[in-house]
Amino acid sequence: MGDQEEENYYGKHGTPQKYDPKFKGPIYDRGCTDVACCILLVLAIVGYVVVGIVAWTHGDPRKVIYPTDSRGQFCGHQGTANEGKPFLFYFDIVKCASPLVLLEFQCPTTQICVSKCPDRFMTYLTASKVPANLEYYRQFCVPEFRDVSKSPIEVLKDKECPAMLFPSTPLARRCFPAIQAKKGVIMVGNETTYDDGHGNRRNVTELLEGARKANVVLEMRQLAMKIFEDYTVSWYWIIIGLVIAMVASLIFIVLLRFLAGIMVWVMIVLVILVLGYGIFHCYVEYAQLKGEAGSDVSLTDLGFQTDLRVYLHLRQTWLAFMIILCVVEVIIILLLIFLRKRILIAIALIKEASRAVGHIMMSLLFPLCTFFLLCLCIAYWASTAVFLSTSNEAVYKVFNESACQFSGQTCSPEKFNTSNVTKLCPDAQCLFAFYGGETAYHKYLIVLQFFNVFMFFWLVNFVIALGQVTLAGAFASYYWAFKKPDDMPAFPLFSAFGRALRYHTGSLAFGSLILAIVQVIRVILEYLDHRLKAADNKFAKFLLSCLKCCFWCLEKFIKFLNRNAYIMIAVYGTNFCTSARNAFFLLMRNIIRVAVLDKVTDFLFFLGKLLIVGSVGVLAFFFFTHRIKLVEDTAPSLNYYWVPILTVIVGSYLIAHGFFSVYGMCVDTLFLCFCEDLERNDGSPERPYYMSPELSAILLKGTLEPSKNTDSQG
C-alpha cells in the first residue's frame, strides 16, 4: 500500500496510536469525565427516591392481594372488621353475566365479605320461617341487618339479604357455584334447577354464565396463585437445580483455565450430542402418540391453555420441537465446518483469557456483586410500580339493572340513600367500582410510572456498565504488564473498580442513558403494537414493524459500541464520546480481526452456555415430570410442572452467562489491547509486543494481518 493510499485509509478510520515508551497500560493519572451526566444521574436518583417515598405513602398493596366488597373494604385483612371473613360473596351472581362486568370490572350486585361460602340451596322466603335456617342465612346478609322481624319483601327490597343461596366453593377467595358435570349434565349441588327467591325455578346454567363473567378478571390471578403454589412446594428443588448449574459452570470455567483447547472441543461435541438426543426424544414422543385420541388436534385449534401439559399430548407439538432442534443442529454443524480454522485461532485467545482470569481469580466472583446490584434495582422498581398502581382511592359508581340517567356516575355511599337517584331509579345501588382519583397526584400517576420504567432501565444499564469497565480495567492491567504477572498491580480488580467510581461515573451514566432512551422507545413501540393489533390499518402496522426492527438493531449496535467504549475508558480515562469514537475507529481499522476472532469466541461461549443450560434443563424436565425412577417419589406434585423447569432454565442461563461474561469481557479487552499493541509496537527489541509469545505465535499469522494489508494484496 502506498503512502497516499495509507493516508486515505487512516483518514477514514482515525489515526493509529503512536509508540509511547511511557505507556504501561491503564493510566492512573486521570481526571473526572462527563461531570454533567454524573450530576444528572445523582439528581435523577434523588427524584427516584422521592417518587418511591410518595408511592409508598399513598400506595396499598392489599388491593392486589385481598378481594374488596361493595364498600371498598378488604376481605380477610387483619385488624379490620372483616378479619375473619376472607371470602367475597355475591348477592346475585347471575347479574355478573351483564356486559357491565367487562366495562367496569365489577358485578352490578351487592358484594359482602363472609367467613365461609354457602353449602346448601335456600331462599330467604323459606329461611325466614325457620329460626335455625334464618340464623344460618344471616351470615350472608349485610352487617347492618339486625331487624329479623321485617317482612321478607322489605328485606329483599332494601337489599339487606340475598334472595337465594346455593352451594358454592371458594375460587381466588370468591364464592362461585359448586358446578359439577354428571353424564354431560351441568349440576350445582346435585340439582339442575334452583329457586331464585322470587318463586321462579331457573336453570343452573345461568349461574354458570354469571360465574364465568365474574371470573373474567380472576383467571390471571388464579393462574398466578397456582404458580405461587408450585413455587412454595418446589423452591428448594429449584435452588438445587440452580446450585447444580453454578457448580457445572464453575467446573467448566476452571477446566477451561487449564484445558482450554480440549474443553472447547469437548463442549462442541457435547452440544451436538445433546441436541441429537433432543431430536431423538422428540421423534420417540411423536411416534408414541400416533393413533391416540385427540393427539392429532392442531395447535391453532387448541388455542392458548394455561396448563401446558395439554400441548405435550399433541403430535404437532413434538413435531415442532423436532424441526426446531434439527434446524439448530444443522446451523451449528455448518458453522463449525466453515469456521474450523478460525476456531483454532479463537481457542488461542481463550487460552490467553484463561491465563488472565487465572491471575485475577476474584474476577469470577465479581458478577455476584453486579447480580446483587441488579436485584436491588429490580426490587425497587417492582415495589415502586406496585405501590404506584395501588395508590388510587376508592371510587363508587351507580349500578342498576333498568335504564337510568345516573348509571355509571360517581356516588357517595353515605349520602346515596338520601339522594334523588334512589327516587328516580329505585333499583340503583352505589357500589365500589375501582380505585382512582381526581387529585393532581392521581392525574400524573402514568407519568410517574413512565419515570419509574425509565429509571429502571437507566440504573440497570449503569450497573452493567460499572461491571464491564471494572473487568476491562483489571484485564487491561494484565495485558499491558510486560512481565506477567510480576508487573501487575497488587489488587487490579479493586483498583479498576475504584477508578471507575471515582473518575468515570459520569461517563458510565452517559452511555447507559443513551441505551436507556432507546430501550424506553422500544417499550413504547411494543405498547403501540399491542394497541394496534385489533386495528385494520396495515400501513401503520408495517411502519411500526419497521420502527421496531430499526430500534432493535440500534440497541444492539449501542450495546456493542458502549462495551468497547468502556474498555477505552478503563485504559485511557477519556470521556465517553472520545472513547466511543476511538474504539469504533480502532475496530474499523481491524474489521477482519473483529469478524474472525471476536465473533467466533462469542459463538464458542454461546455453545458453552447452551451446553450447561441444556443439560440442567433436561435434568429438571425428567425430575419434575417423575421420569427418574430413583427419585420418582421425591419430586413434588405440581399444578404446572413447566413453572420450576422454566425457572431452572432461565436461572441456569443467568448463572452461566454471569461466569462466561467474565471470559467474554476478558476476550474483548485483550482483543482491543492486542489491536492497540500492534499499532504502538512492531515486535522489535526497541518496541516489543506486550502480548504473550503463545498469543503472538498464532495471531500474527498471515490470515490475521491488518485489514489494510489485505486490501493491498487485493
Alpha helices in 289-339 (DSSP H): 299-302, 315-338
Residues 6+ apart with CB under 8 A from 245: 612, 613, 616, 648, 651, 652, 655, 656
pLDDT at 222: 61
Please name every residue paired with 431 in a beta bridge, in sequence order, or none if there are none.
Answer: 397
- pLDDT, tens digit, 9 for 90 and up, residues 532-561: 766 677 788 888 889 999 999 999 999 999
Average pLDDT over residues 227-244: 83
> What letter would DSSP give residue 595?
I
Q: 529, 588, 581, 520: which is closest to 554 by C-alpha?
A: 520
Amino acid at 618: V
Could you tell me if 610 and 271 are in contact, meaning their C-beta atoms sit under 8 angstroms apart?
yes
Amino acid at 481: A
Residues 6+ apart with CB under 8 A from 31: 503, 573
Q: Where are the beta strands (DSSP E) in 20-99?
A: 87-90
Higher pLDDT pick, 707 / 252: 252
Q: What does the alpha-carbon distance between residue 340 and residue 346 come to, in Å, rounded to a whole number?
A: 10
Q: What does the alpha-carbon distance between residue 160 and residue 148 come to, in Å, rounded to a whole number?
A: 11
Could you tell me if 88 and 75 are in contact, meaning their C-beta atoms sit under 8 angstroms apart?
yes
Q: 390, 267, 365: which is closest to 658 by C-alpha?
A: 365
pLDDT at 515: 95
Higher pLDDT pick, 146 / 496: 496
Q: What does the alpha-carbon distance between residue 586 and residue 197 come to, in Å, rounded to a whole number?
A: 84
Mean residue pLDDT of the chain comes to 79
Q: What does the alpha-carbon distance between residue 627 and residue 642 come to, in Å, rounded to a whole number?
A: 14
Could you tell me if 165 and 140 are in contact, meaning their C-beta atoms sit under 8 angstroms apart?
yes
Average pLDDT over residues 146-170: 82
The x, y and z cell numbers of residue 699, run together, are 495471531
Q: What does the alpha-carbon distance between residue 480 and residue 422 come to, in Å, rounded to a whole number?
A: 85
- pLDDT, tens digit, 9 for 90 and up, residues 83-122: 888 888 888 777 665 444 433 445 667 888 998 888 888 8
Higher pLDDT pick, 29 / 549: 549
- pTM of full prediction above 0.75: no
Could you tell me if 691 and 479 are in contact, meaning their C-beta atoms sit under 8 angstroms apart?
yes
Q: What percent of the chain has pLDDT over 70?
A: 80
Average pLDDT over residues 241-256: 85
pLDDT at 693: 75
pLDDT band at 707 (very low <50, low <70, confident <90, very high): very low
Q: 576, 611, 558: which is closest to 32 by C-alpha?
A: 576
Using omega within 30 degrees of 0 as the cis cutoff, is the peptide bond preceding 86 cis? no
- pLDDT, tens digit, 9 for 90 and up, residues 193-221: 655 555 566 665 555 555 554 444 445 55
Average pLDDT over residues 148-175: 81
Q: What does the alpha-carbon distance between residue 639 and residue 617 come to, in Å, rounded to a whole number?
A: 19
pLDDT at 656 over 80: yes
Q: What percent of the chain has pLDDT over 90?
A: 15
- Which single residue is written with the C-alpha cell 506486550? 690
Q: What does the alpha-carbon distance between residue 372 and residue 362 come to, in Å, rounded to a whole number?
A: 16
Q: What does the alpha-carbon distance between residue 149 and residue 181 come to, in Å, rounded to a whole number?
A: 40
> What letter would DSSP give residue 191?
B
Q: What does the alpha-carbon distance between residue 216 and residue 222 come to, in Å, rounded to a whole number?
A: 11
pLDDT at 704: 47
CB atoms within 10 A of CB 169: 14
Q: Under DSSP, is residue 392 helix (H, G, I), strand (E, B) or coil?
A: coil
Q: What does the alpha-carbon distance between residue 519 and residue 523 come to, in Å, rounded to a whole number?
A: 6
Q: Under DSSP, is residue 426 helix (H, G, I), strand (E, B) or coil?
A: coil
Residues 6+ apart with CB under 8 A from 235: none
pLDDT at 14 over 70: no
- pLDDT, tens digit, 9 for 90 and up, residues 512-531: 999 999 999 998 888 888 77
Residues 6+ apart with CB under 8 A from 70: 110, 111, 112, 429, 431, 432
pLDDT at 167: 83
> What letter would DSSP give residue 97?
G
Q: What does the alpha-carbon distance between residue 558 and residue 461 come to, in Å, rounded to a whole number?
A: 12
407 burial via Cβ count (<10 Å: 0-12, 13-18, 19+): middle
pLDDT at 15 over 50: yes
